Structure 1
Amino acid sequence: MEPKRIMLIGLGHVGAHVLDMILRTHLTHKILVAGRNQQYLHQRTNLSALSAIQLGFYPDVNYIELDVQNIEQTAHTISVFKPDIIFSSVSLQSWWVITKLPKPVFESLDEAQLGPWLPMHLTLVYKLMQAVKQTGLNIKVINASYPDVVNPILNKVGLSPTIGIGNVANVIPGLRSSIALKLDKSLEDVEIRLFAHHYVSHRLSHLGNAGGAPFHLTALVNGENLTKFLDLNTVFELLTTKFKRLGGLDGMLITAASATTVINAMANNTGKIIHAPAPNGLPGGYPVRVNAQGGEVILPDDLTLDKAIHLNEEGQRFDGIDKIEEDGTVYFTDKEMNIMKYMLGYECRKMTLLESEDIANTLRIKYIEFAKKYR
């Protein structure tokens, strides 16, 4: 297979894990790592590369300084490297930052869900996609930053990344393990097809329930649908007991594993069926067949694509996003935004794409002021 050119933009916790994983392969893809801190990029890229060599792999990897805030510079860098695939994990503030607050404070603020923090995740991806469009190249972009919502917003203006990672995918290994145990079947023989928004996958992993949000799950054993033999409540409960895992920063490992699965499936054109959020700019999460072109939604017999989209749109309301207009304007839900107003003194009921950066800056300042009280 002809080697692909893969560009990783952002080398935070997820990006660094992904770099470690994709370098540990005998495939000869050319990797370019991009980010703002040149010294860190140099040393962290070397750490991944030298660790891979220690394990018997010899990756083709380099790094370059890049600030996604500068659209022209980003477009130029992309044009020179000419990547087949870009994996982006850029964000103005990672979702896990609030987990560092004292536990009672974090738990109260976490009730606002992820939706109100959208400007932090949307702003840089919007700039990146403008840069990609400016190159005129046919590049597949994999987005790690709240793709369930960011991708469909950008899809409204013709700038959606190709597919997302994490979220719905992160709960799949635990669900497969739980179902295999409940049905007394070999884990390797168990597959599932889950349609669910970030809100659902997050709650399943942490609380063992969907919190009233809609989802659609099919359990297959050697291709046979055995869902009717399962009590899903007891399946979900196992995610918080026997199959409970670390979350927060430590939990980024499973997100990176999802990203690596998507990157490998696209780079190697495998057609593998996995789970991913926002294929082709759709809201929420889906089972998808991934090849070089991206992800194709795999539907069970009892679910149409329209119904799958609808249940994900319902799910996003639980996450604090009321609706997305045809021009990309976002309306936030009152319940979740009221928590942000009460705790941070921050309020945003409606946001256009062009307002995202200014609103993100306002939110960042409000959060910094709030967090100072607990240092």
Structure 2
Amino acid sequence: MTTVLIIGAGDMGERVADGLAAGGRVRRVLVAGRSAARDAVAATVASARDCLVEAVRLDASRQDEVAELLTATRPDLIVHCASLRSPWAMSGRTDPAARAVAAAGLALRLPYQLPLVLSVMRAVRDAGYTGPVANLSFPDVTGPVLARLGLAPTVGLGNAAMMQLRVRAALRAAHPERTVPLIRVLGHHSQLLDVMQARRPADPERLCRVHLGEDGRRDDSLAYQAPPLAPGLRYNVVTGAAVVPVLEALLPGAGPLRHSTAAPAGLPGGYPVRIVDGSVALDLPPGLSEADAIAFNERMAAGDGVDRIDADGTVHFAEACHQAVAGIAPDLAHPLALDDLAARAARLDSVLA
């Protein structure tokens, strides 16, 4: 019985559960979370799909509790969708604190995005779990932090995959009679908003990179030609469509998949990948070296507020991030060490209250 454990019962957790249940390749879905939302999600998906769906109470911040669940259930795939606060939590807010934190880049909110996936990956190690783990919690940055600790998930989800779908939509609209060619996207989460809003950056160095066909012909403009979508929860529809093929390719017995997605093996940003027998490898186009691809995404990370990540996982924030919060709470942009996550989350809470 193919079993998938989904940690996090928010909007994306429900979309992932429904997408996997609808695909017919998963027999059992475990929806794990701390709130009662897990029960509603499980009941909804079980009612709508021909799949066994169970709700499991889990506090993902408790490493021992996660390890015990992994030992008891031994899932074929773990999908991490949980965070302490959703990236959309500030939607609609126009107060100075919210504007400043948003302008600083999503990395400033790592204290909300990193703790739970860190706990889960430590539990994966403790339980001796060797199956694939896919991470949807800001993988372009949490992945590299976890990689510094030897705890990188197998792959991240979303972001570059969403850009790939936008390119596909543009190609289909322009040439509905043609078969869509192989699409390979190199891009960072920091570039996603421009892609989703069809807002092409003036600086060509800021464009995500789009390669078409086996020869990798460049056409970066395609990422900005699909109909614009204003920021909001509607993005989760695209995220769901982007991640389910990756998750299905990680299941036992799955066929190979060529796709673009975030943070394979904890690399910064997103890359073209090839998934075969549950293993994920880079699938870079001709002429693009792994070193150059990583360097590109490390530069793009500044758009999310990241300057660099130390060997111990400490995150240093970019100058623009410091400037954004200088007038409300400059200490929010001090280097963020893993031991300081709880205190920094509390400080963010107080600033945003």
- Give 1:25's aligned residue: 23
TM-aligned CA deviation for residue 163 of structure 1: 0.5
Structure 1, 287-296 or 303-312: larger mean CA deviation: 287-296
Does residue 1:335 correspond to 2:332, yes or no? no
2:335 equivalent among 350, 355, 362: 350
TM-aligned CA deviation for residue 249 of structure 1: 1.2
For residues 360 and 294 of structure 1, the distance between their equivalents in structure 2, rounded to whole angstroms, comes to 34
- Give 2:225's aligned residue: 238
For residues 180 and 6 of structure 1, the distance between their equivalents in structure 2, rounded to whole angstroms, comes to 33
Structure 1, 96-105 or 133-142: larger mean CA deviation: 96-105
Pair 1:187–1:33, CA change in 2 (3 A): farther
For residues 177 and 99 of structure 2, the distance between their equivalents in structure 1, rounded to whole angstroms, comes to 37
Does residue 1:266 correspond to 2:264, yes or no? no
- Give 1:67's aligned residue: 59
2:186 equivalent among 182, 195, 216: 195
Pair 1:319–1:40, CA change in 2 (3 A): closer
Q: Is the 8 A contact 1:288 1:298 kept in 2?
A: yes
For residues 115 and 28 of structure 1, the distance between their equivalents in structure 2, rounded to whole angstroms, comes to 34
Q: Is the 8 A contact 2:97 2:328 kept in 1?
A: no
Pair 1:153–1:214, CA change in 2 (3 A): farther
For residues 100 and 340 of structure 2, the distance between their equivalents in structure 1, rounded to whole angstroms, comes to 27
- Give 1:85's aligned residue: 77
TM-aligned CA deviation for residue 104 of structure 1: 9.3
- Give 2:264's aligned residue: 279
For residues 207 and 115 of structure 1, the distance between their equivalents in structure 2, rounded to whole angstroms, comes to 23
**Runs of 4+ deviating beyond 4 Å:** 103-109, 223-226, 343-346
Does residue 1:41 correspond to 2:38, yes or no? yes
Q: Is the 8 A contact 1:214 1:314 kept in 2?
A: no
1:206 equivalent among 197, 208, 211: 197
- Give 2:347's aligned residue: 362
Q: Is the 8 A contact 1:170 1:258 kept in 2?
A: yes
- Give 1:98's aligned residue: 90
For residues 16 and 260 of structure 1, the distance between their equivalents in structure 2, rounded to whole angstroms, comes to 12
Normalised to the residue count of structure 1, the TM-score between the two structures is: 0.86
- Give 1:218's aligned residue: 211
Does residue 1:129 correspond to 2:129, yes or no? no
Pair 1:237–1:69, CA change in 2 (3 A): closer
For residues 178 and 229 of structure 2, the distance between their equivalents in structure 1, rounded to whole angstroms, comes to 18
Normalised to the residue count of structure 2, the TM-score between the two structures is: 0.91
For residues 301 and 27 of structure 1, the distance between their equivalents in structure 2, rounded to whole angstroms, comes to 33
Pair 1:186–1:314, CA change in 2 (3 A): farther
| CA RMSD, Structure 1 to Structure 2 (Å) | 2.3
Pair 1:137–1:98, CA change in 2 (3 A): same
Q: Is the 8 A contact 2:259 2:273 kept in 1?
A: yes
For residues 49 and 256 of structure 1, the distance between their equivalents in structure 2, rounded to whole angstroms, comes to 18
Q: How many residue pairs are counted as aligned between the two chains?
A: 350
TM-aligned CA deviation for residue 190 of structure 1: 2.7
Does residue 1:15 correspond to 2:7, yes or no? no
Q: What are the ranges of 5 or more consecutive residues in structure 2 without an aligned counterpart?
A: none
Give aligned-pair identity as a percent. Answer: 26
Q: Is the 8 A contact 1:171 1:201 kept in 2?
A: yes
What SS does the corresponding residue of 1:111 show, helix, strand or coil? Answer: helix
Q: Is the 8 A contact 1:346 1:366 kept in 2?
A: no
Letter in 2 for 1:266: L
Q: What are the ranges of 5 or more consecutive residues in structure 1 without an aligned counterpart?
A: 53-57, 369-375
Pair 1:174–1:347, CA change in 2 (3 A): same
Letter in 1 for 2:225: L
Q: Is the 8 A contact 1:180 1:190 kept in 2?
A: no
Letter in 2 for 1:172: Q
- Measured against aligned partners, the alpha-carbon deviations of 1:230-281 in whole angstroms (never above 9, x if no partner) come to 5x44x35423xxx223531121111122221211111143221111110011
Q: Is the 8 A contact 1:20 1:48 kept in 2?
A: yes
- Give 1:373's aligned residue: none
TM-aligned CA deviation for residue 50 of structure 1: 0.5
TM-aligned CA deviation for residue 97 of structure 1: 1.2
TM-aligned CA deviation for residue 284 of structure 1: 0.5
- Measured against aligned partners, the alpha-carbon deviations of 1:354-374 in whole angstroms (never above 9, x if no partner) come to 222221222122212xxxxxx
Letter in 2 for 1:178: A
Does residue 1:320 correspond to 2:311, yes or no? no
